[in-house]
């Protein structure tokens, strides 16, 4: 950290991944460092029309929500780890323009570019600036809080050009588990457990993918003044 508490400026170009970028790295990286951001909450609140769903039946992928904004919402998953674990990649200096172009296309569906201080888990350096793709609440694909069981069912039945939506969820759970003994995320684990249960039910003929209705509404509720006290106690 510099004297004013801001992360040091660096000429190096680093990207932080908290979703598919953890297990599907960008091209031309020469370092991969596990670690975390603070001040955000990871949630499956971004509709995906291009990777894990289609425009007619969008899937669900993760985005980051500013923690203070998340605390103002009603979320059935009412706690979230302080650290959003993921991976930072350093891109080879002569490939930065090419990689940025590649990622701007890959992450186009509602994600915009932000910057956040990244904390390397190995403590090899102080926090440094990384680029991160975030689907903010003002983008069309942002869904806001969803009932966990409805969300798990939605993920279970969705599929897009990059594959099954449930493989994205289970891939994220596995990739997080591999980063560190403390990198798990209860939101991801709970959805994964529900998806595994749906798989059991489907094999027993108790859950059907065919004919599943994708909800169209993306309305979300803010904490009312009555709920405020309880909700501000989210950790
Ligand atoms: C990311 O991985 O950092 C962004 C979200 C995604 O592409 O899954």
Ligand 1 within 6 A of 128 CB? no
* pTM exceeds 0.85 for this model: yes
Say whether pLDDT at 211 is over 60. yes
So what's the pLDDT on residue 223?
63
Mean pLDDT, residues 227-231 = 39
Closest residue by Cα to residue 194 from 137, 134, 146, 231:
146
Give pLDDT, residue 185.
Answer: 97
- β-strands 163-164, 159-160: how paired? antiparallel
In the structure, what pLDDT confidence band is assigned to residue 231 with cuts at 50, 70 and 90? very low
User: Quick check: 75 pLDDT over 60?
Assistant: yes
What's the confidence (pLDDT) of residue 235? 34
Residue 105 pLDDT class (50, 70, 90 cuts): confident
Confidence tier at 4 by pLDDT (50, 70, 90): very low
Which of 35, 227, 206 is CA-nearest to residue 145? 227
d(CA 162, CA 167): 10
Longest dimension (CA), the chain: 62
Q: Check residue 230 and give its pLDDT.
A: 39
If one residue of 14, 17, 52, 175 were mutated to test the ligand 1 pocket, choosing by the most ligand atoms within 8 A of its CB, it would be: 17
pLDDT tens profile 219-228: 555 665 444 4
Mean pLDDT (the chain) is: 88
Nearest to 129 by CA among 5, 15, 3: 15
Atom of ligand 1 nearest to the CA of 16: 3
- The residue count of the chain comes to 235
Atom 5 of ligand 1 has which residue's CA nearest to it?
19
Pick one of 3.10.490.10, 3.40.225.10, 3.20.20.150, 3.40.50.300 as the CATH number of 14-204. 3.10.490.10
Question: Catalytic residue among 9, 107, 173, 233, which?
Answer: 107
Mean pLDDT confidence for 2-7:
48
Apex 177 CA angle, 96 and 64, nearest 5: 55
pLDDT at 2 over 70: no
Does 46 sit in the ligand 1 pocket, CB within 6 Å?
no
Angle made by CA atoms 187, 59, 63, in degrees to the nearest 5: 45
40 lines ligand 1 (CB under 6 A): no
* Any atom of ligand 1 within 6 Å of the Cβ of 156: no
Task: List the chain domain ranges.
Answer: 14-204
In order, the DSSP letters of the chain are --TTSPPPP-SSEEEEESSHHHHSPPSSEEEEEEEEEESEEEEEEEEESSSSS-SSS-EEEEEEEEHHHHTTB--SS----SEEEEEEEEEPGGGHHHHHHHHHHHTTTT-EEEEEEEEETT-SS--EEEEEEE--TTSTTB-----HHHHHHHHHH-EETTEEHHHHHHHHHHHHHHH-TT---HHHHHHHHHHHHHHHHHHTTS---TTPPPP-----PBPPHHHHHHHTT--
For the cut 90, the answer to whether the pLDDT of residue 233 exceeds it is: no
- pLDDT cut 70: percent of the chain above it: 86
């Amino acid at each position: 950290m510099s004297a004013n508490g801001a992360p040091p400026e660096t000429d190096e170009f680093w990207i932080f991944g908290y979703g598919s970028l953890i297990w599907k790295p960008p091209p031309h990286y020469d370092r991969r460092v596990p670690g975390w951001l603070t001040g955000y909450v990871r949630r499956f609140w971004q509709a995906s029309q291009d990777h894990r769903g289609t425009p007619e039946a969008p899937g669900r992928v993760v985005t980051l929500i500013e923690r203070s904004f998340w605390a103002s919402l009603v979320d059935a998953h009412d706690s979230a780890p302080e650290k959003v674990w993921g991976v930072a990649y350093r891109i080879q200096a002569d490939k930065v323009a090419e990689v940025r172009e590649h990622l701007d296309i890959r992450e186009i569906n509602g994600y915009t570019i932000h910057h956040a201080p990244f904390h390397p888990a190995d403590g090899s350096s102080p926090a440094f600036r990384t680029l991160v793709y975030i689907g903010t609440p003002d983008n069309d694909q942002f869904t806001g809080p969803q009932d966990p069981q409805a969300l798990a069912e939605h993920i279970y039945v969705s599929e897009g050009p990059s594959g099954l939506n449930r493989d994205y969820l289970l891939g994220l759970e596995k990739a997080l588990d591999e980063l560190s003994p403390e990198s798990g995320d209860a939101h991801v684990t709970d959805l994964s457990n529900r998806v595994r249960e749906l798989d059991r039910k489907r094999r027993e003929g108790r859950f059907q993918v065919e004919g599943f209705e994708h909800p169209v509404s993306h309305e979300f509720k803010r904490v009312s003044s009555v709920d405020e006290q309880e909700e501000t106690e989210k950790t």
